Amino acid sequence: MSTNSILETFPSTTNGNGNGHKPVEATRLSDASVQQIYAELLTRIGEDPLRDGLLDTPRRMEKSMSFLTRGYSESVEKVLHGALFDVDYDEMVIVKDIEFYSLCEHHLLPFYGRAHIAYIPNGKVIGLSKIPRIVDVFARRLQVQERLTQQIAEAIEDAVHPQGVGVVLEGQHLCMMMRGVQKQESSTVTSAMLGAFKTQTQTRTEFLTLVRQK
């Protein structure tokens, strides 16, 4: 069902008598502002969006979510503009321990960790500072770790057509730590191997060995 066909309404303005969230007028969901929707969410969980501590929370929530999902307005092409260089180098390039922060698309709870990325150039290299930015382009979207890992690998492959790409992500998921099974010490490791990293055991082993070194 499209948003425009939703007939359910919710309070869009409230009185200020301090007696709770009493509706004064209602608005169609499709016409509501993001801040009105967040105010309604606060009401639905049993809070009063008019109390002092929450008066500005809908605005903060809108700003925060815009930042946390800014990857939807970014692209790898823009990130890499002018940062691809012709280099006569064909050994492995590794950037490891890249911090990433994302939101689980199932519960909108954070998951975070470190990314380890390697590729073997085939005539072109990526400016080193751009590799963490590629991670952010995809991490700052609603995600699952498995897809995030694959998207990073494919983006590098598409950008410089290397001999191979290897990506390993180590993540901790608050949807497992704060709710559900509530296992605080658990971690999730995912990998994506393309080209030489997938077909050549020695290349893959070298990458994984170097990643483990501190």
Q: Which residues are catalytic?
A: 104-107, 145, 173, 175
**Six-digit token string for 192:** 């994506």
The β-bridge relationship of strands 142-143 and 93-104 is: parallel
Write down the residue that tokens 């470190």 correspond to. Answer: 114
Q: Helix, strand, or coil here: 9?
A: strand
For residue 196, the surrounding DSSP H or E stretch is helix 196-199
For residue 86, the surrounding DSSP H or E stretch is strand 84-86
Contacts of 56 (CB under 8 A, 6+ apart): none
Contacts of 129 (CB under 8 A, 6+ apart): 83
Q: Helix, strand, or coil here: 92?
A: coil
What span, in angstroms and rounded, lies between the C-alpha atoms of 170 and 18? Answer: 47
**Six-digit token string for 83:** 């940062």
Q: Helix, strand, or coil here: 179?
A: coil
What span, in angstroms and rounded, lies between the C-alpha atoms of 190 and 169? Answer: 5
